[in-house]
Amino acid sequence: MNTIVAIVGRPNVGKSTLFNRLIQRRDAIVDSVSGVTRDRHYGKSDWNGKNFSVIDTGGYAVGSDDIFEEEIRKQVDLAIEESDIIVFVVDVTEGITPMDTEVANLLRKVKKPVFMAVNKVDNAMREDDAFEFYNLGLGEYHTISSINGSGTGDLLDAIAKIIPEDQEDEKDELPRFAVVGRPNAGKSSFINALIGVERNIVTNIAGTTRDSIDTKYNRFGFDFNLVDTAGIRRKAKVKEDLEFYSVMRAVRTIEHCDVAIVMIDATRGFEGQDQSIFWLAEKNKKGVVILINKWDLVEKETNTMKAYEAMVRKEIAPFSDVPIIFTSVLTKQRIFKAIETAVTVFENRKKRIATSKLNETMLEVVKQNPPPAWKGKYVKIKYCMQLPTITPQFVFFCNLPQYVRDPYKRFIENKLREIYDFKGVPVIIHFRQK
């Protein structure tokens, strides 16, 4: 299970600076997904060998100052609801404000670990000023300066200490297909339609995440778990929360799945949030199937489907080798094709190519189309192999890896996809010195 750390606090205390520092702290950090909301609010970090996700609740407050307080309360509620660990950021230069007290009152009732980070402590005098934050009744605090990074290492050490070790035995579990998408795209109806037709459901396990329900399911002689991320609307009383909620829920669900079935509402088109959810799956190197649901409600001409598909592929480029299926959950049109395709994508993700076979085919491709010369230097590729990773990664050994440009990497990736069929799966190519 991946741990989610949420950063909360009133505006301008330095939440985003701390967030950026946490996710860019080390080389091993995956870049954050831009566009998950209006700004970069979701990132992955690792510290002392522990991996976790960081959510910055900043940037969700909209409107004038007088409604800030209500916004802050909503953010804290969301963080309490969705995260495993909370970091509460306060500002030493301003001392305790009424809003800090308000947030602290909410956090004292929480059964989850809460770390208070007193920010902007960049000298010894401010270290003394931080004492007043004991008055918030949250116990010990960490003094940090998120601008220059002092103290953040100690804060991370404390957080890492309570993050459980990654469970290795998860590999034996059934494959997990997550149904993700915006509210009202038809996720629950899709799962209900499958379950309503098939009677061989074994269990409904209240899921690994609050409100995500795992349904064990058998079709095509294949056992897997379907994960429903419905319930996004459950506590969301106002529109602005919806986006944050669905992203939070999608983050958690996508990180624990093998294949993400991304559901799009055909009547609304492929919007920003759909794109965010798609890129979350791609960044996490999951298999992806795109379902265009409610296709029965779209007025059609001769080429409507082709045009729609071309539009979606353009939006998800360069990773456009993804199955796109037009469905109507209401009329049960192509819903089993969707599951069958997800099974195929799952198998593609596990695919292993023998080194001898790979060299036989790919070295021939390289011979026919060698990398273009760069600054008068010629790249010679001698050998290639697949790495033993969960998702397909290939390494090509050559004399001058630094001179292999991106277009050539894409060419090699496309050839691998064409020859070995990795449809729906992110493929990573490395060039290394032989």
Tokens of 372: 């273009």
380 marked as binding residue: no
137 marked as binding residue: no
Spatial contact of 45 and 140, defined as CB atoms under 8 Å apart: no
Among candidate residues 374, 426, 433, 382, the one with its CA nearest the CA of residue 405:
374
184 marked as binding residue: yes
218 marked as binding residue: no
153 marked as binding residue: no
221 marked as binding residue: no
Among candidate residues 5, 268, 266, the one with its CA nearest the CA of residue 152:
5
149 marked as binding residue: no
14 marked as binding residue: yes
376 marked as binding residue: no
49 marked as binding residue: no
154 marked as binding residue: no
355 marked as binding residue: no
60 marked as binding residue: yes
296 marked as binding residue: yes
83 marked as binding residue: no
13 marked as binding residue: yes
183 marked as binding residue: yes
The string over 46-82, giving b where at least 16 C-beta atoms fall within 10 Å of a residue's C-beta and e elsewhere, is: bbeebbbbbbbbbbbbeeeeeeeeebbebbbebbbeb
230 marked as binding residue: yes
123 marked as binding residue: no
361 marked as binding residue: no
Tokens of 337: 């094709």
Spatial contact of 56 and 7, defined as CB atoms under 8 Å apart: yes
188 marked as binding residue: yes
340 Cβ contact partners less than 8 Å away, ≥ 6 residues apart: 219, 220
Torsion of CA 28, 34, 37, 43, to 10 degrees: 0
246 marked as binding residue: no
334 marked as binding residue: no
189 marked as binding residue: no
Say which DSSP state 174 is in.
P
151 marked as binding residue: no
Binding site per annotation, positions for GTP: 9-16, 56-60, 119-122, 181-188, 228-232, 293-296
Binding site per annotation, positions: 9-16, 56-60, 119-122, 181-188, 228-232, 293-296
